[in-house]
Each structure stands twice: as structure tokens, then as C-alpha cells.
């Protein structure tokens, strides 16, 4: 069975983000699926969402976990008795995305480890807002991170850089088709000066709209960009899909 996995910790995002994500998955997935949330609080989550504690990164005392928490998606605790017992293909989704198209193909597309492609400063990188693997695979990711913590953090800014670099060296990384996962601020917001009088659009054949940095979905909905240099007009299609 297909499994969707997300994470919520702290107070930055409330349970409504997970509930909306679950609702969007239900509308855009035709086959049966599990929806699992790793969280530090089950409060407010809708029925149908399986909630489990977030496995520990098990870092030395004082080591910051911010920017690396998603690596626990490869923890053996997630396939062991007493946990969610994940099996088969797992698709990780950030809770602040907006789903606008069918999801079944994310489980049919061939590849050992698939992730969203991101281009930044002429470099091709991965964006861990949307990635898929087989439950129980790639346990060496977490083992290598823990054993080489200082070297990894000196070389990589966050988990998505490390993850793609580590698995690329093993020839295991592939990217989703370019049109499936789109950045709101790069692919939906119009180029200046058109952004001053044309609202953001849904790119052709997009399935998932990713909100990284600013704005977030509720801000983009009403036209708050979060940046003085970026104009974002109110985006009514967010209300249609982000529910």
C-alpha cells in the first residue's frame, strides 16, 4: 500500500496544516493509502491520520537538530514493532505544500530514490519537500550522518543537500518530471514587472506547489509576500486547493 509521511513539530504550524494535507491527499489519490504524521503532539489531528512520535536523531548533547530532522524518515524505528511499521513505497510531503493535481503517478514513477529537482545558482539540487523511497531502505543515510556529524554539517547546509549528495554517490538519486513539483515563488509568481498586475498561476501539469521560504500558503492567498522586493497579488486558487 502507498504511504504518505509528513512531520509536524513545535508551534510554527498548527494541526490544521496536517489536516489540510490529509484532505488534499484524499482528493488527489485514487488508490488506497496510509497517511502517517510524525509529531510531538497529536492534538487537533483529524481521524484517519496515524500519529506517531518523531524518532530521535540521537545527536550528541548540544548539537542543533534544526535543518536535519527529516533524516529520521530513514530511521529503523519506523519499520520496527511498536512504531508505524512502514512498508513499501513511502512519499514524504512537507505540510505547507498545496496539492493541485493527481498523486498516483508519484508511486508509479520508476526510481530507487526520487526527489524534487531544484536549480539554484546554476546548480541542480534536490528539494526535500517531496521525496519517495522504500521503507527500510537507505538506513546508511542516518548512520553516516551520525558518524560524520561535524564533516557533514561543515559541507552541507541542511538535510536535503546532504541527502542528495550521499545517495547520488551511490547512483540512487532520480528526479521527478520537471513539471510535477513547482515552486510558488519561482514558477507561479509572474516575473517583474508582470507580478505588479498579474496574479500567480498554476503551472501547466503541476501536481504539487511547494512553498519554501516566504510566502506561506495563507500569506500568498491574501497577497502578502513576506519580502519587500517581491510583489505577490492575492491568489484565490490557493483557497480552492488548500483545504
Structural domains in the chain, CATH included, are 2-175 (3.90.550.10), 181-241 (no CATH)
Statement: residue 119 has pLDDT above 80: no
Instruction: For the chain, report the end-to-end CA distance as a whole number of angstroms.
Output: 24
* Peptide bond connecting 36 to the previous residue in cis, omega within 30 degrees of 0: no
Statement: residue 233 has pLDDT above 70: yes
Strand duo 50-52 + 33-39: pairing = parallel
Q: What are the CA-CA distances from residue 174 to residues 70, 83, 146, 167, 206 (Å)?
A: 19, 29, 24, 10, 18
pLDDT-derived band at 89, boundaries 50, 70, 90: very high
Other C-beta atoms closer than 10 Å to the C-beta of 191 total 7
Residues β-bridged to residue 98: 209
Nearest-angstrom CA–CA distance, 107 and 133:
9
Count the alpha carbons within 13 Å of 43 in the hemisphere toward its beta carbon.
7
Residues 47 and 2: beta-carbon distance below 8 Å: no
What is the reported pLDDT for 114?
98
Q: What is the DSSP string of 115-172?
A: EEEEEETTEEEEEEEEEEEETT--HHHHHHHHHTHHHHHHH-SSHHHHHHHHHHTTT-
pLDDT-derived band at 229, boundaries 50, 70, 90: confident
Phi, psi angles (nearest 5°) of residue 195 = -65, -15
Other C-beta atoms closer than 10 Å to the C-beta of 217 total 19
Statement: residue 120 has pLDDT above 70: no
What is the reported pLDDT for 194?
82
Nearest-angstrom CA–CA distance, 30 and 49:
17
Statement: residue 121 has pLDDT above 70: no
Nearest-angstrom CA–CA distance, 73 and 78:
7
Count the alpha carbons within 13 Å of 28 in the hemisphere toward its beta carbon.
22
What is the reported pLDDT for 193?
84
For the entire predicted model, the pTM comes to 0.95
Amino acid at each position: 500500500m502507498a504511504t504518505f509521511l509528513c512531520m509536524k513539530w513545535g508551534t510554527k504550524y498548527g494541526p490544521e496544516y496536517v489536516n489540510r494535507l490529509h484532505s488534499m491527499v484524499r482528493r488527489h489519490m485514487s488508490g488506497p493509502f496510509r497517511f502517517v504524521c510524525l509529531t510531538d503532539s497529536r492534538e487537533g489531528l483529524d481521524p484517519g491520520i496515524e500519529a506517531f512520535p518523531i524518532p530521535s536523531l540521537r545527536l550528541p548533547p548540544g548539537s542543533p537538530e534544526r535543518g536535519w530532522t527529516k533524516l529520521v524518515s530513514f530511521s529503523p524505528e519506523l519499520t520496527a514493532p511498536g512504531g508505524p511499521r512502514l512498508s513499501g513505497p513511502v512519499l514524504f510531503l512537507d505540510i505547507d505544500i498545496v496539492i493541485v493535481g493527481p498523486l498516483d503517478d508519484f508511486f508509479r514513477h520508476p526510481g530507487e530514490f526520487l526527489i524534487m529537482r531544484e536549480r539554484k545558482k546554476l546548480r541542480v539540487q534536490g528539494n526535500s519537500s517531496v521525496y519517495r523511497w522504500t521503507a527500510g531502505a537507505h538506513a546508511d543515510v542516518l548512520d553516516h550522518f551520525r558518524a560524520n556529524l561535524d564533516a557533514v554539517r561543515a559541507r552541507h547546509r541542511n538535510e536535503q543537500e546532504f541527502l542528495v549528495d550521499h545517495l547520488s554517490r551511490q547512483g540512487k538519486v532520480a528526479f521527478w518530471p520537471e513539471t510535477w513539483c513547482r515552486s510558488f515563488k519561482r514558477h507561479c509568481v509572474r516575473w517583474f514587472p508582470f507580478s505588479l498586475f498579474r496574479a500567480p498561476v498554476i503551472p501547466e501539469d503541476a501536481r504539487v506547489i511547494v512553498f519554501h521560504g516566504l510566502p506561506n500558503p495563507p500569506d500568498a492567498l491574501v497577497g502578502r509576500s513576506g519580502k519587500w522586493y517581491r510583489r505577490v497579488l492575492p491568489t484565490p486558487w490557493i483557497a480552492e486547493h488548500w483545504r
